[in-house]
Amino acid sequence: MNDPQQKWTETIETQHSLFDLKLKEVWRYKDLVYMFVKRDFVSSFKQTILGPIWFFINPILTTIVYLVVFGKIANLPTDGAPPLLFYLAGVTLWNYFAGSLTGTSYTFTGNASIFGKVYFPRLVTPISIVISNLMRLAVQFLLFVIIWGYYLSKDEIHPNLWMLATPFLIALMAIFALGAGMLFSSLTTKYKDLGMLLGFGVSLFMYATPVIYPASALFGPFKKISYYNPLTGIFECFKYGWLGVGDFSPLMLGVSTIIIFILFTIGLVTFNKVEKTFMDTV
């Protein structure tokens, strides 16, 4: 006869809510998140000569290219901000978003062999990718702050209190990348063509975002449409706070926040639904 006081240590359920984040379960696997973050960090620079120095080289070279092509040749405006600092600000934020989105979009297809052998909350994988990219952002943001301090000492920029919103802006980008990445990851288990188009789509999305140009440079319907780009409010708020330039308003950031949380909810629901059957289609 079974002991009535006996309690199960693990319970396997076939059904769960689509809105269930399983945050308690994810927290139990926090050591696994740390291992994945460490793995991503180490594997990125394994068998490289310069190692983590590439964190600095990448934004520097990209900024120089943008400075020549878009600043000197195309002569795009920067709203009066130093072009070098303007492009570096955009590159720093964009690298984090693009890296997080691309990484999380391969959650199922890139980890199918692991998921098929051992159980752990699948949400651990995209979260670890977002965190590992956050480490890269921290290094590149340090480079931005150093150059920002130089221009500040020359009184060429005029920051304001909106710069204190930076942690919130980074959190919004992380949530957006996580939600969109989970959505793409879920869809690519069945429609693999989306994975092939993702790289092109991310590059195209950059030109629809005020990374290399200010939102004030847009006109007509393009300006109205840009306000519904979730990243527009984030990039404009960041540049407005740190550089003191840009076509920014709190309403713009509010719209971005609402759209991002809607997209995150859609991505989460789709992810929770697909994770139960994705091994049949991958």
C-alpha to C-alpha distance for 99 and 176, rounded to whole angstroms: 12
Task: Tell me whether residue 78 is in a domain.
Answer: yes
CB burial string 169-198: b at 16+ within 10 A, e below:
bbebbbbbbbbbbbbbbbbbbeeeebbeeb
Residue 261 neighbours by CB distance under 10 Å: 15
Integer angstrom CA distances of residue 238 from 37, 146, 191, 271: 26, 16, 36, 30
Mean pLDDT of the chain: 83
What 3-state class would DSSP assign to 147? helix
Task: Tell me whether residue 10 is in a domain.
Answer: no
Q: Which residues span the domain enclosing 139?
A: 53-280
Residue 236 burial (CB < 10 Å; 0-12/13-18/19+)? buried
Provide the residue type at 52 as one letter: P
Q: Please, are residues 66 and 212 in contact by the beta-carbon 8 Å criterion? A: yes
Integer angstrom CA distances of residue 41 from 100, 120, 143, 167, 168: 13, 21, 19, 22, 24
**Residue 280: predicted pLDDT:** 46
Task: Tell me whether residue 274 is in a domain.
Answer: yes
Helix (H) or strand (E) holding 116: none
Packed helices 250-274 and 166-188: angle between N→C axes, nearest 10 degrees: 30
- Give residue-wise pLDDT tens across range 23-80: 677 778 778 888 888 777 777 666 555 566 777 888 889 999 999 999 888 888 898 8
> Using the 8-state DSSP alphabet, how is residue 6 labeled?
-
Q: Scanning the structure block, which residue is given the tokens 């942690």?
A: 167
Task: Tell me whether residue 94 is in a domain.
Answer: yes
Task: Tell me whether residue 27 is in a domain.
Answer: no
**Residue 1: predicted pLDDT:** 47
Residue 6 neighbours by CB distance under 10 Å: 6
**Residue 14: predicted pLDDT:** 47
Count of domains for the chain: 1
C-alpha to C-alpha distance for 115 and 75, rounded to whole angstroms: 49
Task: Tell me whether residue 6 is in a domain.
Answer: no
Q: Scanning the structure block, which residue is given the tokens 């949530």?
A: 175
C-alpha to C-alpha distance for 128 and 38, rounded to whole angstroms: 9
Closest CA to 124 of 13, 42, 270, 23: 23
- Give residue-wise pLDDT tens across range 173-229: 999 999 998 888 888 877 776 777 888 888 899 999 999 999 888 888 888 888 889
Least confident of 4-18, 20-34, 49-63, 229-243: 4-18
pTM of this prediction?
Answer: 0.85
pLDDT above 90 (res 149): yes
What DSSP string describes 31-95? HHHHHHHHHHHHHHSTT-SSGGGHHHHHHHHHHHHHIIIIIIIS----TTS-HHHHHHHHHHHHH
Q: What is the largest CA-CA distance in the chain?
A: 83
Overall average pLDDT of the 145-164 stretch: 94
Task: Tell me whether residue 206 is in a domain.
Answer: yes
**Residue 277: predicted pLDDT:** 62
Which is higher by pLDDT, 151 or 39? 151
> Using the 8-state DSSP alphabet, how is residue 9 labeled?
S
Q: Please, are residues 234 and 169 in contact by the beta-carbon 8 Å criterion? A: yes
Task: Tell me whether residue 22 is in a domain.
Answer: no
Percent of the chain with pLDDT over 90: 39
149: which 2 tokens?
């301090």
